[in-house]
Amino acid sequence: MKNNIKIERARFNFTQADLAQKIGVSRQTINAMEKNKYVPSTLLALKIARLFQKSVEDIFLLEDHE
């Protein structure tokens, strides 16, 4: 699953640490999500989408082969 977290984070001028603090995870979790090494829970995906004022589908992109 690909995502636009890094793009949205830049749009809001958040560091990885800023975003992590706002949604209650570690900076390492944000880093892993941005590198597509960690797929967030539904709850975490919803928190991220709400923070960025986007739908979950605008942030997280399901690829055809998944």
Token pair, residue 16, equals: 């990885």
Rounded Cα gap, residues 64 and 28, in angstroms: 27
- pLDDT at position 66: 57
Q: Identity (one letter) of the amino acid at 28? A: Q
Is 49 a residue whose pLDDT tops 90?
yes
Q: State pTM to two decimals.
A: 0.90
- pLDDT at position 6: 97
How far is the first Cα of the chain from the last one, in angstroms, to the nearest whole number?
Answer: 7
pLDDT tens, position by position, 22-47: 999 999 999 999 999 999 999 999 99
49 near 56, Cβ under 8 Å?
Answer: yes
**Residue 29: burial class (beta carbons within 10 Å; 0-12, 13-18, 19+):** middle
Q: Which domains does the chain have, with CATH numbers?
A: 2-60 (1.10.260.40)
